[in-house]
Structure 1
Amino acid sequence: MIIDKVLENNQNFVENFEGEELGHLPKMNLCIVTCMDTRLTNFLEPALGIDREDAKIIRNAGNTIVGEDVIRSVAAAVYSLGCEEVMVIGHTNCGMKNANVDKIKSSMIEKGVPEEEINKVDLSKWIGSIEDEEINVIETVKKIKEHPLIADGIIVHGLIVDIVTGELKVLVKG
């Protein structure tokens, strides 16, 4: 099982790690909404020049807003944890671009999700399938800025990071 390997790795980590007490407030007063793509792990933070403790990072499939969870997390970062700026950072070659909803539905059924439950939602919208990474970032920025619980003065940027080179492209500045 994967958990056994993770626990073994954790034991090795703990034995070799010099722990330190860190604060929970982001030093840069920055909140980042980004994708859960595995290629961003140990890549995005160095590409941005940020370290542990610098920013609150919210990850989800395709850095999209489906429902209220992302907005809730952004609001917590802003109103409770002192974030002053938000960056929505998408990436090139996103797996959520044109996600195969039929394949997802088949996999859900195969794993035991009743088809009648799947049919209760628009699976494409629910899963957060996107057509274009840049448009998705711009739309996500707009959703955050226009949400009634996000104050007008909150600065929200939109960027794309090249998944190969790490180069940032600004799509929306503040």
Structure 2
Amino acid sequence: MTILEDVLKDNKEFVENFEGEEMSHHAAKKLAILTCMDCRLIDFFEPALGLKRGDAKIVRNAGNSIVGEDAIRSIGAALYNLGAEEVMVVGHTECGMAGADAEALKAKMLERGIKEEDIAKYDLAEWIGGFESEEANVKDVVDKIKNHPLIPDVPVHGLIIDIVTGELKVLVDGY
């Protein structure tokens, strides 16, 4: 069975057993969150923050980073169109993006058939968005959001969640 077939099988079972309800597309807790896409956060992150379906707009990417404009665009959409009034950047311990190695990334790209001339068009260290310290990354991302010309003056908080226990540590109190 392929991964897609497995997902579709699980989806069919979900739909058959789900008792759906209409919900607003606005964040009930008026919160936008930028966090990591780490698979260990699934079914862990939201309960650790006391969030339920419909409570917050959650943007996930590799390393909860600001690389380019896409995360900023999503945060802006949450603030201007989707009911959010505060922003949280939530990193986590043991992040796979900490210490990301651009040379190792390049080697893997070459192994998978990406052309050297195509790779050369990018600064891979910047493109991948790696960092040395999870805490320093959160503080840097909070600063980028707070200082972006299209983001209004809203509270932007920075936190780290322990990937094992779920304990939150506040790094930047945005008030």
Please state which band the TM-score falls in when normalised by the shorter chain: over 0.9
TM superposition outliers: structure 1 runs of 4+ over 3 Å = none
Q: Which runs of 5+ in 1 are unaligned?
A: none
CA distance in 1, matches of 2:113, 2:8: 28
TM-score (structure 1 length as normaliser): 0.97
CA distance in 2, matches of 1:73, 1:59: 10
Shift of 1:113: 1.7
DSSP-derived class of the 2:165 partner: coil
The within-5 A match list for 1:7-22 is 7-22=8-23
Match of residue 89 from structure 1: 90
Shift of 1:102: 2.2
Shift of 1:47: 0.4
CA distance in 2, matches of 1:22, 1:111: 43
Query: Partner amino acid for 2:165?
Result: T
1:145 matches 2:146:
yes
Moved more, 15-24 or 157-166: 15-24
CA distance in 2, matches of 1:19, 1:111: 42
- Please list the CA deviations of residues 97-145 of structure 1 after superposition, one character each: whole Å capped at 9, or x if unmatched: 0013222212212222211111111101110111100000000000000
CA distance in 1, matches of 2:104, 2:140: 26
- Please list the CA deviations of residues 17-60 of structure 1 after superposition, one character each: whole Å capped at 9, or x if unmatched: 11111111100000000000001111010000010000000000
DSSP-derived class of the 1:31 partner: strand
Across the aligned residues of Structure 1 and Structure 2, the Cα RMSD in angstroms comes to: 0.8
Match of residue 119 from structure 1: 120
CA distance in 2, matches of 1:23, 1:112: 44
Match of residue 170 from structure 1: 170
Match of residue 71 from structure 1: 72
Match of residue 130 from structure 1: 131
Percent identical pairs in the alignment equals 61
CA distance in 2, matches of 1:147, 1:31: 16
CA distance in 2, matches of 1:88, 1:10: 30
Q: Which runs of 5+ in 2 are unaligned?
A: none
- Please list the CA deviations of residues 52-106 of structure 1 after superposition, one character each: whole Å capped at 9, or x if unmatched: 0000000000000000001100100001112110000000000000013222212
CA distance in 2, matches of 1:44, 1:110: 34
Query: Partner amino acid for 1:168?
Result: L
